[in-house]
Amino acid sequence: QQQVKQSPQSLIVQKGGISIINCAYENTAFDYFPWYQQFPGKGPALLIAIRPDVSEKKEGRFTISFNKSAKQFSLHIMDSQPGDSATYFCAASRGSGTYKYIFGTGTRLKVLA
């Protein structure tokens, strides 16, 4: 129940295309869902996050879609660019005061020029 399942493991997209990464969870107590972006040799950096009181959040070319009934959330990267090539991690945590993120296993995105 603590797992967050992320797919696909890797993704290749043409420049200008849409990249879509999906995550699914089982624990309905999760109430904070961040996405992290990681470049080689660097630590993960927070990209965008959502709480379950909204179904979508958009920041620039990045959008999180959240489906509470299906217990799924996804990251959409519009107009994907070669600079978006990185590994993306979804995560989930539950309740105020909790200190434990459960991370997905990561998606390696490559955007072809």
Binding site for another protein (CB under 8 A): 6, 9, 31-32, 34, 36, 41-46, 49, 89, 93, 95-101, 103-106
Relative to beta strand 107-112, strand 10-14 is parallel
State in angstroms the smallest separation of the CB of 101 from another protein. Answer: 7
Backbone angles phi, psi at 15, to 5 degrees: -55, 135
Whose Cβ is closer to another protein: residue 74's or residue 106's?
106
Q: The tokens of 80 are what?
A: 């994907």
Tokens 């996050």 -> residue: 49
Shortest CB 14 distance to another protein, Å: 26
- 39 vs 112 by CB, closer to another protein: 39
